[in-house]
């Protein structure tokens, strides 16, 4: 009894999450074990008295399953401070795959809950009480079990992973333990969730960004056919989809091999002459039987060489030429439809999507005779291709809907946005032909500053869910130049250059948006405020979390309100119209454009200053609280937000005091009357 009391006292004195000292794991007392076990039959918790109480056992050898076990151990050590935790505990969590007869425990749990692969899908999971002191976490894939690990930590301990560069470095915060009611069954709203990193070659393991996506339950990083060759093995560890995308006509039909002897394989220019520019400026002769034969043969060979690939790429070349380089060669013209041309009086472009999808249908049909389950990636991109085709869409085609030039202050589903209502029309028409669509937005092309209000992220994903598409994978930047895997000496546009300040400040401004986006891909009906507070606790720590959440929510609310939600103006064209409140496009926006969304320049001078001061007070309060913690992580993270705020205010003409930083000392623009 004396020994038992000593153990209990020690457990009560244990510090919570962020204690820097290494802790030794102490076993949960066995007294009253029966009572605890009966309680645990309906609930699950990783901790008892702030100490790890859950041991872990892996049953199987799937790469993602093994990784799930490793992640469980790493995260448990990081969030509790028990550095010597080694999968021991009074209770045991068994991780095992269902559906392959490798685990009796998994099959028992699945049967008890009347589940099937159809019900759980590839990403869903089950947490079930087996009896005694045993629990099982099971799914039909290793990726599903990985999702279960991350969701258990989120649901039980309020642990999330806010930013790639933060990895598992958490600021000081107290444990927030919420027992999980059992059985716990969960699966995502979308089957495709992720980011495609801009100008990323992905020729080797990129653990920070891969871990970040995986820990936020994403399953689809970007890749080209070439980069997928190098990363297929790494992706297996994360359970990521083995998908290639990108602009690949030049990959399947290289001009260096075919252009000299067969110029007829390539598109023609405006004068009807063969265009040998294989990437920028020209496409291929769609429908040409020899071209189709070559591509089918090369795709079959690629699949044979890389048997794990699930999605093969057939994306047209990226070009800014008229009609994006499609010509009127005789083969392509045969595939066109009269509906590809705009009606009289219309300002819309003609579309080439019918000839493109007809060719893709033919290619994937022939490839599927050898590999029936292989799917093919295609684009709905550029004005000339965004319109749905006048033909069937093969069920094994995956459409990447990438609307350049969308408005970023309104959602696609907002009928009051004249610009985005055009994209809504096109996306809805594609969705009538196939549900195999994912949305590609452009987060990473606008420099260093915020792109969307958080409410728009949620509204847009709710719309995607309502029309039943697969999900979304926006283009973005890595969090630090090491994540780009850029080749040295490559010439790129200014916004892609791997200078450290650009990458860092971009993520300083956008980490919350990216986090909310990935979380909403799992469930777009979550409460936005809860996600913001969860992010802030895990990124800034308890000392400043509420203050930073108030600041971020106010910033987001101002962005959202600057779009005048619910207001519209009459449409003037069947093509591109804008309301006065639209924010287009997200490339090359000046910081002043964003600052003007935070503080309305059209307000009278006194009200402008009051509006700016309200934001200043919010961020200054958090900064002062961070300073009192004397914690370097907290102070650094809050200071970066404060410095970004200072730059916003400078673009509006307000200079923040260098003393305490909680007041404006200069207001150069207060005399300007924007109403005139």
What pLDDT band is residue 671 in, cutting at 50, 70 and 90? low
CB hemisphere CA count around 126 (13 angstroms): 28
| 260/151: higher pLDDT | 151
**Which residue from 4, 105, 173 is spatially nearest to 544, judged by alpha carbons?**
173
Q: Give the model's pLDDT for residue 487.
A: 44
| 86/199: higher pLDDT | 86
What pLDDT band is residue 337 in, cutting at 50, 70 and 90? very high
What pLDDT band is residue 588 in, cutting at 50, 70 and 90? low
Contact 52, 91 (CB under 8 A): no
d(CA 412, CA 460): 6
pLDDT in tens, 370-396: 999 999 999 999 999 999 999 999 999
Residue with tokens 């291929």: 284
Quick one: average pLDDT of 456-461? Answer: 96
pLDDT in tens, 269-283: 667 776 656 555 579
3-class DSSP state for residue 453? Answer: coil
3-class DSSP state for residue 96? Answer: strand
Q: Give the model's pLDDT for residue 6.
A: 35
CB hemisphere CA count around 114 (13 angstroms): 0
What pLDDT band is residue 311 in, cutting at 50, 70 and 90? very high
Q: Give the model's pLDDT for residue 226.
A: 82
DSSP code for 382: S
Residue with tokens 């990959």: 251
Backbone angles phi, psi at 289, to 5 degrees: -60, -35
Q: Give the model's pLDDT for residue 1.
A: 43
Domains of the chain: 2-186 (3.30.379.10), 192-524 (3.20.20), 556-667 (no CATH)
| Tokens describing residue 385 | 């291709």
What pLDDT band is residue 223 in, cutting at 50, 70 and 90? confident
Q: Which residues of 419-431 are buried (b: 16+ CB within 10 A; e: fewer)?
A: bbbbbbebbeebb
Backbone angles phi, psi at 204, to 5 degrees: -155, 175
> Is the pLDDT reported for residue 267 higher than 60?
yes
d(CA 290, CA 336): 19
In terms of C-beta density within 10 A (0-12 exposed, 13-18 middle, 19 or more buried), how is residue 2 classed?
A: exposed
> What residues contact 261, with CB distance under 8 A and at least 6 apart?
none
N-terminal to C-terminal alpha carbon distance within the chain = 83
| Tokens describing residue 470 | 């697969």
Q: How far is CA 289 from CA 241, 259, 317, 393, in A?
A: 31, 16, 20, 20
DSSP code for 282: -
What pLDDT band is residue 438 in, cutting at 50, 70 and 90? very high
Strand 54-59 and strand 91-97: pairing?
parallel
> Is the pLDDT reported for residue 442 higher than 70?
yes
Quick one: average pLDDT of 181-193? Answer: 98
d(CA 404, CA 389): 18
Of the listed ranges 158-167, 295-304, 484-493, the least confidently predicted one is: 484-493
Quote the mean pLDDT of the chain. Answer: 87
| Tokens describing residue 324 | 């994006």
Q: Give the model's pLDDT for residue 490.
A: 42
Instruction: Report the share of the chain in percent with pLDDT over 70.
Output: 85
Of the listed ranges 19-33, 149-163, 331-345, 447-461, the least confidently predicted one is: 19-33
> Is the pLDDT reported for residue 203 higher than 70?
no
pLDDT in tens, 116-127: 999 999 999 999
d(CA 442, CA 154): 28
Contact 400, 245 (CB under 8 A): yes
What pLDDT band is residue 195 in, cutting at 50, 70 and 90? very high
> Is the pLDDT reported for residue 573 higher than 50?
yes
Contact 304, 276 (CB under 8 A): no
**Which residue from 204, 219, 208 is spatially nearest to 167, judged by alpha carbons?**
208
d(CA 469, CA 218): 16
3-state SS track over 406-448:
CCCCCCCCCCCCHHHHHHHHHHHHHHHHCCCEEECCECCCCCC
Contact 139, 110 (CB under 8 A): no
Instruction: Report the share of the chain in percent with pLDDT over 90.
Output: 67
Radius of gyration of the chain (CA): 27
pLDDT in tens, 393-423: 999 999 999 998 899 899 998 989 999 999 9
pLDDT in tens, 639-656: 999 999 999 999 899 999
pLDDT in tens, 20-73: 345 554 444 444 444 444 444 689 999 998 899 999 999 988 999 999 999 999
The H-or-E segment that residue 293 falls in is helix 289-305
Of the listed ranges 98-112, 190-204, 289-303, 654-668, the least confidently predicted one is: 190-204
Q: Give the model's pLDDT for residue 256.
A: 85
Phi-psi region of 447 (alpha: psi -120 to 50; beta: other; left: phi over 0): left
Q: Give the model's pLDDT for residue 18.
A: 38
| Tokens describing residue 239 | 């359970």
Q: Give the model's pLDDT for residue 155.
A: 98
DSSP code for 129: E
Identify the bridge partners of residue 126 per DSSP, sorted by sequence position.
Answer: 138, 185
Of the listed ranges 157-166, 345-354, 578-587, 651-660, the least confidently predicted one is: 578-587
pLDDT in tens, 345-371: 999 999 999 999 999 999 999 999 999
Q: Give the model's pLDDT for residue 500.
A: 47
Entry pTM: 0.91
The H-or-E segment that residue 401 falls in is strand 397-402
Contact 401, 427 (CB under 8 A): yes
d(CA 579, CA 247): 33
Q: How far is CA 201 from CA 441, 471, 549, in A?
A: 19, 23, 35
Query: For residue 330, how many other CB atoms are within 10 A of its CB?
Result: 11
> What residues contact 113, with CB distance under 8 A and at least 6 apart?
126, 128, 183, 185
pLDDT in tens, 474-529: 988 888 765 454 444 344 444 444 444 567 788 899 999 999 999 999 999 999 99
d(CA 380, CA 373): 22
CB hemisphere CA count around 280 (13 angstroms): 1
> Is the pLDDT reported for residue 674 higher than 50?
no
């Amino acid at each position: 009894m004396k020994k038992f009391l000593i153990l209990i006292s020690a457990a009560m004195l244990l510090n919570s999450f962020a204690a820097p000292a290494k802790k030794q794991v102490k076993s949960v007392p066995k007294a009253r074990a029966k009572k605890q076990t009966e309680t645990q039959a309906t609930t699950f918790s990783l901790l008892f008295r702030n100490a790890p109480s859950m041991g872990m056992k892996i049953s199987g050898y799937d790469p993602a399953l093994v990784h799930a076990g490793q992640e469980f151990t790493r995260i448990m050590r990081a969030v509790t401070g028990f550095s010597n935790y080694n999968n021991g505990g009074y209770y045991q969590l068994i991780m095992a795959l269902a559906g392959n007869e490798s685990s009796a425990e998994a099959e028992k749990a699945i049967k008890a809950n009347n589940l099937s692969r159809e019900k759980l899908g590839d990403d869903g999971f089950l947490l079930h009480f087996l009896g005694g002191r045993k629990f099982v976490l099971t799914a039909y894939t290793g990726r599903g079990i990985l999702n279960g690990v991350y969701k258990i930590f989120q649901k039980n301990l309020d642990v999330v992973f806010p930013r790639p560069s933060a990895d598992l470095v958490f600021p000081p915060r107290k444990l927030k333990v919420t027992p999980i009611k059992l059985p716990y069954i969960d699966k995502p709203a979308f089957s495709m969730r992720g980011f495609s990193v801009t100008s990323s070659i992905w020729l080797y393991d990129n653990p920070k960004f891969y871990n970040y996506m995986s820990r936020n339950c994403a399953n689809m990083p970007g890749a080209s056919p070439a980069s997928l060759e190098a990363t297929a093995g790494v992706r297996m560890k994360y359970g990521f989809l083995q998908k290639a995308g990108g602009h690949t006509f030049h990959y399947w039909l290289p001009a260096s091999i075919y252009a000299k002897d067969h110029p007829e394989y390539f598109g023609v220019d405006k004068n009807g002459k063969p265009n040998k520019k294989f990437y920028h400026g020209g496409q291929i002769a769609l429908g040409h039987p020899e071209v189709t034969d070559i591509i089918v043969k090369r795709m079959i060979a690629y699949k044979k060489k890389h048997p794990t690939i699930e999605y093969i790429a057939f994306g047209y070349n990226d070009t800014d030429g008229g009609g994006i380089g499609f010509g009127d060669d005789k083969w392509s013209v045969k595939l066109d439809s009269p509906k590809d041309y705009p009606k009289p009086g219309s300002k819309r472009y003609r579309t080439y999507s019918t000839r493109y999808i007809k060719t893709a249908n033919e290619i994937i049909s022939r490839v599927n005779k050898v590999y029936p389950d292989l799917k093919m990636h295609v684009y709905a991109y550029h004005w000339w291709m965004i319109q749905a085709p006048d033909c069937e869409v093969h069920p094994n085609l995956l459409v990447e809907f990438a609307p350049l030039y969308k408005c970023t202050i309104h959602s696609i589903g907002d009928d009051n946005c004249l610009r985005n209502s055009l994209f809504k029309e096109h996306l809805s028409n594609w969705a009538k032909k196939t549900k195999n669509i994912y949305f590609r937005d452009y987060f990473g092309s606008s420099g260093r500053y915020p792109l969307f209000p958080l409410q728009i992220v949620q509204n847009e994903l709710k719309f995607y869910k309502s029309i039943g598409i697969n999900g979304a994978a926006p283009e973005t930047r890595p969090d630090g130049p090491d994540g780009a895997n850029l080749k040295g000496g490559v010439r790129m546009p200014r916004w892609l250059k791997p200078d450290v300040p650009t990458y860092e400040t971009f993520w300083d401004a956008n980490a919350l948006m990216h986090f909310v986006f990935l979380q909403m891909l799992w469930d777009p009906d979550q409460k936005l405020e809860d996600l913001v507070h969860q992010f802030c606790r895990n990124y800034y720590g308890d000392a400043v979390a509420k203050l930073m959440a108030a600041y971020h929510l106010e910033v987001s609310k101002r962005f959202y309100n600057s779009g005048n939600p619910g207001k519209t103006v009459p449409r003037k064209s069947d093509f591109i119209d804008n309301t006065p409140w639209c924010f287009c496009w997200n490339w090359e926006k000046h910081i002043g454009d964003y600052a003007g969304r935070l503080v309305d320049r059209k307000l009278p001078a006194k009200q402008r200053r009051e509006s700016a001061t309200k934001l200043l007070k919010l961020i200054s309060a958090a900064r002062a609280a961070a300073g009192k913690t004397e914690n370097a992580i907290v102070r650094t993270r809050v200071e970066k937000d404060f410095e970004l705020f200072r730059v916003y205010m400078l673009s509006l003409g307000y200079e923040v005091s260098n003393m305490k930083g909680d007041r404006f000392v200069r207001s150069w623009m207060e005399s300007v009357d924007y109403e005139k």
